Chains A and B, each alone.
Chain A
C-alpha cells in the first residue's frame, strides 16, 4: 500500500520544522499519536504484557500464589468467607470458592496463557498467510489456484466444531510424539489448530494487495532489470504489505485470545491446576448465585484486553490509511 505523502499538515508540529519531509511511517505515527484512546489502549496492552511476563515476581511481591490453598478464607461449605468473594488485604480480588486459591494470582498467571496463545498463533498465522498470499498473488496461474482452493477449503470447515471434536485425539497424538503430557500438549494443539484455520484470512488480504502491487511500476522496473522472484517478493512487495498485515495482526490477536478462553471454558483447554481465564470463567459461572464477584473478574479482564487490541487495531488502520475503507483491508 502506498500513502500519499502530500496529505495533511500536522498542526502540532511547529512551523519552523514544518518544511521537513516526512516518510509515510512518520506520518502514520503522527496520526496515531493524536488518537488518545488508542494510546491508552496501547498502555493497557503493555500493562497486560508486563504482568504476564512478570506474573511470578508480582505474585511473590504481593505474597500470593495461584496454587496455594487457603482454607481460612472459606466457610464450612467451601464458599468465600467475606463479602465480594472475600476481598481483603491478603486477597485483593478475593479467593476461588472450593479451594481458597487467590484469584488475582490466578488472573496474572492466566494472562500468560492467554497472551502466549494469542501471540504465537498470530505469529504463525501471519507468517504462513503472508508467504502464501504473496506467492499466490505474485505468481498467479496454477500456484494461485491451488492456494486459492486450499484457502476456500479451509474456510469451508466449521473450524470451532472441528477444533472441539479433535481436541482429545490430537492432544493424545501430540503426547505420543513427545510433546510433554498435559498442558504443553493442549497448548500446542490450540496454537496449531488456531494457526491452521487462521492463516487463510491473512493470505486472502495479502494476495489481494499483491495482485495490485505486482502491476505497479516499481515492480515492473525491478523485473525488467532482471531481479529474481525472491528479490521481488521480499524486497519489493513485502515492504509495501506491512500496513495491512499490521492491521490484521492487531485485530486477529484478540480473536485468538478469546478462542483460547472459549476452549478452556468448554473444558478443552488448560487442565488443573493451571490457571487460564477460560478455566476461571467456566468455573465461576457455577457460582453466579453464591459468589457473583468471581464471575466478573476474569470476564472483565478478558473484555478489557480484547477491547484494547481492537481499539489499537482500528487506530493503526486509520493512521496507516486515512482514506481507506475497511472492506479493502479485511
Chain B
C-alpha cells in the first residue's frame, strides 16, 4: 500500500499495514508516563505543502492514512490504537465486529454499530458506506486512491456514482448490498483478509448529499473526533473537536488533544532545529522528517532519548526502470551494477537509512519473503562494481545497440526537489557516468512528484519508488507494483516479452487460498522481477521520528509506520 512519502531521507516511513511478526520493529517506548490528559493543541511539522489527499477515497500516501483515519474518517474495521505489534491487529470500528466471511471468501458482511454520526449530526448509515466505496470507481475524479474495491468487487463496467446509469448503479448495489444495518460485499475473487482491506480510508462513509466531487478533497465530512476548522494549502490545516462525534459509539479513539494543527511548507532544517530546541509551542510538536545530517545529533545524545524513535518501517525503497524505453536487460544490469548504493545510503543517513534490499518484499512479511538472488557481480557492501557494469554495457552494445545509445545519450530521471535528492541525483550521475550512461535529472516540486511520474503523459526512464504492503500479504505488493492493473506500476513493463507469463503467475498466486503455498508463489514472483530488473531493489528502510517534551502518547504505529496522530496528547 501506499506510496512512500518522498520527503526526508531516501524517504521516511509512512504507511502500511503489516502484521509485524515481532522481528526488528523497535517499537517506541511511548512518551510521558501515566494516563494521557485531555486538552491542548498538538502541532505536526512538515515540509509538504499539503496533505496529499484528505478525500478518504483518494487518501493513500504516507502517514496521511494514519492521520486521516485517526482524526476524521472512521472505517468498518481499523488497526488497533496501540504501540508495538498489537497495533498491527485489526478491530471493529464502525462495524460491530471484524466481519463475517461466507461463500468461501467471496462474501463479506459487516454490521454497523449504533450511534455513529457525521459532523452535521446525521447518523452514519449503510448507504453512506456503500456510497463511499462507489466513489473509488470514478477514477476520472477520484484519483490516486487505492483500487482494491475495483479489483475485488463483483461488478463490471461501473463508472462511479457520478456517471452511472440506473442499470450500472443497480449492478453496483448488488455487489455492495445494504440490508438495514448490514453491508455485504460480494467479491469476484476469494479474499481471505478482506477485513484488512476495509481498514483503508477508501472504505469510509461519505454522505451522498454532501459529496462535492473533486472539491471534497479540501473539505471532507468528518465521521471522527475531529473536524476541519481551516485548511490553507502551503500554510496549515487546523482540526478542532467534532462536537457531534459520539464517544460512546467509537470503541477505539480517545481524542485527547482539543486541537491538532498541521504546519505545512516548512524548511526541513528549520523543522529539525525547532524540534531540537524544543521551545515554546514546539514542545507540543511532532515531526517524522528528520534530515540525515541531524540524525547523529538526535540519536547519539541521551538528552533526546525520551522523545525519539528509530524503527523498521514497512517500506521498501527501489528504483523503477521504464521498461518500455529501456527494454534491454543488459543496460538495466549495467545501471544497477554501476550504481554507488553505498554513497546513496550514506547520503540518506547511513545505518538510519536501513539495509540493502534483495527484492521488493520485506522480511517482515515472513510467509512471503525468501532471500532473492540479485544480479551476478553486485557488491554486497553496496559499492559499485564498475568492471561488471562495463561488461554488461559492452554486451548491450552488441545485443541492443539502440538502447545502449539511448542510455549514453541520457536517461530522464525526475526527482523530488529536496536537498537530500539533489545530492542523491548527483550520486546517480557520477556513478553511472563511469560506464558511459548519462543521467538527466529533472527536479520536480516535492508535493507534485507522485502525480507527475504517475500521470499517463509522464516521460521518464528512471523513477524512484517506495512501497509498503497494505496488509501482511505480498498480494498488496507484487501485483500493485508490477501488474499493469496495479495501482503503482511505474515500470511500463506491459510490452516486455516475459510480462504475459508473469501476469498469469500473479493471477494464479492471488487465487491460491493456501497461504503458505501462496507465499511460495510470491517468493518466486519476487525473484522473477529481480531477475528481469524491471525495478532495482534499493533499501529495506528504517525511519525516525521526534516529538516535543510535552507531547504525550507519541508512539510508532506499526501498520502505518508513523505516529498515531489522533491519539497524541499534551502533558501539562
| A residues apposed to B, CB below 8 Å | 67-69, 71, 74-79, 96-101, 181-182, 267, 271-273, 282-283, 285-287, 289-290
Contacts and interface: CB of A to CB of B under 8 A. Distances in A.
Interface string B321-346: 00000000000000000001011001
Contact of A71 (B340, B433, B441): B340
A77 B292 contact: yes
B76 to A, nearest CB: 43
A97 B293 contact: yes
Given A76-B351, A77-B352, A287-B293, 16 more contacts: A67-B433, A71-B383, A77-B349, A78-B348, A79-B296, A96-B423, A98-B293, A100-B343, A182-B442, A271-B443, A272-B441, A273-B425, A273-B426, A285-B269, A286-B293, A290-B297
B350 A98 contact: no
Given A267-B417, A286-B419, A99 B293 contact: no
B295 interface: yes
A294 to B, nearest CB: 10
| Most chain A beta-carbon neighbours within 10 Å: one of B291, B343, B349, B425 | B343
A297 B433 CA distance: 28
13 contacts: A67-B429, A76-B350, A76-B351, A77-B350, A78-B348, A78-B349, A79-B296, A101-B426, A271-B441, A273-B430, A273-B441, A286-B291, A290-B297
Contacts of B269: 285-286
A79 B347 CA distance: 9
Given A76-B351, A77-B350, A78-B350, A69 B296 contact: no
Nearest to A78: B346
Q: Which 9 A-B pairs have the closest CB atoms?
A: A273-B426, A78-B346, A76-B350, A272-B422, A98-B347, A77-B350, A272-B426, A98-B423, A286-B269
B429 A273 contact: yes
Contacts of A273: 425-426, 429-430, 441
A330 to B, nearest CB: 35
B525 interface: no
Nearest to A275: B426
A99 B428 CA distance: 11
Interface string B280-300: 000000000001111111000
B346 A68 contact: no
Interface in B409-450: 417, 419-420, 422-423, 425-427, 429-431, 433, 440-443
Contacts of A272: 422-423, 425-426, 429, 441, 443
Main secondary structure of the interface of B (DSSP, over half): helix
Nearest to B441: A272
A99 B441 contact: no
Contacts of A285: 269
Given A69-B430, A272-B423, A78 B347 contact: yes
A96 B426 CA distance: 12
Interface of B: 269, 291-297, 340, 342-343, 346-352, 383, 417, 419-420, 422-423, 425-427, 429-431, 433, 440-443
A150 B292 CA distance: 49
B287 to A, nearest CB: 15
A96 B346 CA distance: 12
A132 to B, nearest CB: 36
Contacts of A68: 430
B284 to A, nearest CB: 24
Nearest to B382: A71
B430 A98 contact: no
A267 B420 CA distance: 13
A68 B430 CA distance: 6
A271 B297 CA distance: 28
A272 B424 CA distance: 9
Contact of B295 (A74, A77, A181): A77
Contact of B427 (A69, A97, A271, A286): A69
Contact of A67 (B342, B348, B352, B426): B426
A76 B430 contact: no
Contacts of B294: 289-290
A99 B347 contact: yes
B509 to A, nearest CB: 38
Contacts of B419: 282-283, 286
A71 B427 CA distance: 11
| Most chain B beta-carbon neighbours within 10 Å: one of A71, A74, A285 | A71
A181 B351 CA distance: 36
B571 to A, nearest CB: 28
Contacts of A182: 440, 442
A238 to B, nearest CB: 44
A170 to B, nearest CB: 15
Given A98-B292, A271-B443, A290-B293, A77 B426 contact: no
Contacts of A97: 293
B351 A77 contact: yes
A135 B141 CA distance: 58
A67 B430 contact: yes
| Most chain B beta-carbon neighbours within 10 Å: one of A78, A79, A267, A272 | A78
Nearest to B273: A289
A97 B294 CA distance: 12
Contacts of B420: 98
Nearest to B292: A78
Contacts of B293: 78-79, 97-98, 286-287, 289-290
B296 A77 contact: yes
Contacts of A98: 292-293, 346-347, 420, 423
Contact of A290 (B296, B346, B383, B429): B296
Contacts of A67: 426, 429-430, 433
A97 B347 CA distance: 8
Given A98-B423, A272-B441, A74 B297 contact: no
B425 A71 contact: no
A23 B335 CA distance: 67
A71 B346 contact: yes
Contacts of B423: 96, 98-99, 272, 283
Contact of B343 (A71, A267, A286, A289): A71
B534 to A, nearest CB: 26
Contacts of A290: 293-294, 296-297
Contacts of B340: 69, 71
Nearest to A65: B430
Nearest to A270: B422
Given A71-B340, A283-B419, A289 B351 contact: no
B420 to A, nearest CB: 8
A86 B88 CA distance: 45
Given A79-B296, A273-B429, A71 B350 contact: no
A69 B431 CA distance: 8
Contacts of B430: 67-69, 99, 273
Nearest to A68: B430
Contact of A76 (B343, B346, B431, B443): B346
A78 B423 CA distance: 12
Nearest to A100: B343
Contacts of A287: 293
Contacts of A283: 419, 422-423
Nearest to B425: A272
A271 B422 contact: yes
Contacts of B442: 181-182
A136 B292 CA distance: 57
A210 B340 CA distance: 62
A77 B429 contact: no
